[in-house]
């Protein structure tokens, strides 16, 4: 039964980097650093003659950082979802095995439930 499960790939360098960034970005230190950058940026209007240039600097910086963080956090979320689906598949498979052992005494209704559960596992793996 367990031989048809996909093997889990070990995390590569990018996955490890994305996980480290995800952990860092979810801490208060990251938020504090972002606030400090904004507070330090505010008085720079005194040194930049054009308000448009002043706004362009912070808008560009935040846009680039947001784009990179979204890509990295999406990677972490995908790996988390994959792990969660493997756990749910293992629980469903174990439940189906248990139900099959009870099937000998319970009859056709339980057999239909087992078949439905196994089909849902196969459907999830195809997605």
pTM for the full model?
0.54
Which H or E run includes 24? helix 13-25
Q: List the chain residues with pLDDT less than 70.
A: 1-8, 102-111, 122-127
Q: In this structure, is residue 74 part of a structural domain?
A: yes
71-89, pLDDT tens digit by residue? 888 888 888 888 888 888 8
Q: In this structure, is residue 113 part of a structural domain?
A: yes
The percent of residues above 70 in pLDDT, for the chain, comes to 80
Q: In this structure, is residue 64 part of a structural domain?
A: yes
For the chain, the domain total comes to: 1
């Amino acid at each position: 039964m367990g031989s048809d499960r996909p093997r889990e790939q070990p995390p590569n360098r990018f996955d490890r980097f994305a996980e480290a960034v995800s952990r860092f970005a979810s801490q208060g230190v990251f938020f504090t650093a972002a606030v400090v950058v904004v507070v330090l940026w505010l008085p720079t209007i005194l040194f930049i003659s054009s308000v448009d240039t002043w706004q362009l600097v912070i808008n560009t910086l935040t846009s680039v950082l947001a784009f990179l963080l979204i890509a990295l956090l999406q990677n972490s979320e995908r790996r988390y979802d994959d792990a969660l689906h493997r756990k749910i598949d293992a629980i469903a498979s174990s439940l189906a095995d248990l139900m099959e052992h009870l099937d000998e005494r319970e009859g056709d209704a339980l057999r239909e439930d087992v078949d439905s559960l196994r089909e849902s596992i196969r459907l999830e793996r195809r997605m």
